[in-house]
């Protein structure tokens, strides 16, 4: 009995601490949001050369497979090459300079889409940075795209950012490893070439809208709900009011119009696609997508970029917002809270096992 009492007091203390931590985290999060609003636009551009990353992976496994004698010879040769590169850099000359032309650059931008296409702002900044230096004659942009789609207007804006690259005449390649469906495919179709992994999900060229209606429930409980509008089509369907057949027809007409715009958008950017055959809302996996011309090649993004390293410098470009002090404190508090809760759950589970 005493054990149960002590354990109950322990849980009460833990619960008090968790509640206090949640309140503190909420206050910090609110301050962080205000800080972000006050410092909108602040951040930094992250540039990472992927050639070096892939080269280090290759050298790492090569070194482990070599004998001691081979490794010493390889290390000696490597130091010699590095010394020659540094000497060339000091003199201001590079092998490409001697040939009278600069090296090709492949700029890599990542987009991980949610229903609101929240990554659009960072995409916009990265595209602006790349377009300020990209040479249409030599360079290429690769968008590593993952998205199942979402809001029409949000993905319309994200697609428009990629259209900026296309309008500048810079070759654009979309790499899809997992999914580019609906709004995600709207973005992918902008590219001059779409590369997808064998089981990536593509397509879903359609429009969907759904909402519950509680009118009969409210009516059954004698609850009135009125919808007042100025304009015949201001509100066609409602969640709580009574929906009419006329309202449904107008809503369906709007969906059809949006679908028509979607099809036009895809057709203009992929003229070789039989839009009527694929714009039924269905999805295709990589190989099947290739058969219906939704994509141009079966290949993972890693494979494509490793091959691109032989053509030039592969550079990852991303824009990251600077975290304010409240945001950093919020992340630290969140991590501490998660760790505490996990320890409590683990202790409780172990107690049950014993």
CA 238: distance to chain centroid?
Answer: 32
Q: State the number of CA atoms in the 13 A half-sphere of 288 facing the CB.
A: 10
Q: Which CATH superfamily is domain 45-81+102-204+282-321 in?
A: 2-enoyl-CoA Hydratase; Chain A, domain 1 (3.90.226.10)
| CA–CA distance, 136 with 144 (Å, rounded to integer) | 20
60 has catalytic annotation = no
How does pLDDT run across 163-181, given as a tens digit for each residue? Answer: 999 999 999 999 999 999 9
Cβ–Cβ < 8 Å for 241, 225: yes
Residue 229 three-state SS: coil
Residues 341-350: pLDDT tens digits? Answer: 666 666 655 6
**How many Cα atoms are found within 13 Å in the side-chain-facing hemisphere of 88?**
12
pLDDT digits (tens, 9 = 90+) for 300-318: 999 999 999 989 999 999 9
In the predicted structure, residue 332 carries a pLDDT above the cut 70: no
Task: Tell me if 304 sits within 8 A of 175, measured CB to CB.
Answer: yes
Q: How far apart (Å, rounded) are the C-alpha atoms in residues 233 and 254?
A: 11
**Is 159 in the active site?**
no
Answer whether residue 242 shows pLDDT above 50.
Answer: yes
Whether residue 180 contacts residue 147, with contact meaning beta carbons closer than 8 Å, is answered with yes
Better-predicted residue by pLDDT, 328 or 72: 72
Q: Of the residues 147, 182, 204, 301, which is catalytic?
A: 182
Q: What confidence tier does 26 reach under pLDDT thresholds 50, 70, 90?
A: low
Determine which one of 56, 90, 220, 234 is catalytic: 234
């Amino acid at each position: 009995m005493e054990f149960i009492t002590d354990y109950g007091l322990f849980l009460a203390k833990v619960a008090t601490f968790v509640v206090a931590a949640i309140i503190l985290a909420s206050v910090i999060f609110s301050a962080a949001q205000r800080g972000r609003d006050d410092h909108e636009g602040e951040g930094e551009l992250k540039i990472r050369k992927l050639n070096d990353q892939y080269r280090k992976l290759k050298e790492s496994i090569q070194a482990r497979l070599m004998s001691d004698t081979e490794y010493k010879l390889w290390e000696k040769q490597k130091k010699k090459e590095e010394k020659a590169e540094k000497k060339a850099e000091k003199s201001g000359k590079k092998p490409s300079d001697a040939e009278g032309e600069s090296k090709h650059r492949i700029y890599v931008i990542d987009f991980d889409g949610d229903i609101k296409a929240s990554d659009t702002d960072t995409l916009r900044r990265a595209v602006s940075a790349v377009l300020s230096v990209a040479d249409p004659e030599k360079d290429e942009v690769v968008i590593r795209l993952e998205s199942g789609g979402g809001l029409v207007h949000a993905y319309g804006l994200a697609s428009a950012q990629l259209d900026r690259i296309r309008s500048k005449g810079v070759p654009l390649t979309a790499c899809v490893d997992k999914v580019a469906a609906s709004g995600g495919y709207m973005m992918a179709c902008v590219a001059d070439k779409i590369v997808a992994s064998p089981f990536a999900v593509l397509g879903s060229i359609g429009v969907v809208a759904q909402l519950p209606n509680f009118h009969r429930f409210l009516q059954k409980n004698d609850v009135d709900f009125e919808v007042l509008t100025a304009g015949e089509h201001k509100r066609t369907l409602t969640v709580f009011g009574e929906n009419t057949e006329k309202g449904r027809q107008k809503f369906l007409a709007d969906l059809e119009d949006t679908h028509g715009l979607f099809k036009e958008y895809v057709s203009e950017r992929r003229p070789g696609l039989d839009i009527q055959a694929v714009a039924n809302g269905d999805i295709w996996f990589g190989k099947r997508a290739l058969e219906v011309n939704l994509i141009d090649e079966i290949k993972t993004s890693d494979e494509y970029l490793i091959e691109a390293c032989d053509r030039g410098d592969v550079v990852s470009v991303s824009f990251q917002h600077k975290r304010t002090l409240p945001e950093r404190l919020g992340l630290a508090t969140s991590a501490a809270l998660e760790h505490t809760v996990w320890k409590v759950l683990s202790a409780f589970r172990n107690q049950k096992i014993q």
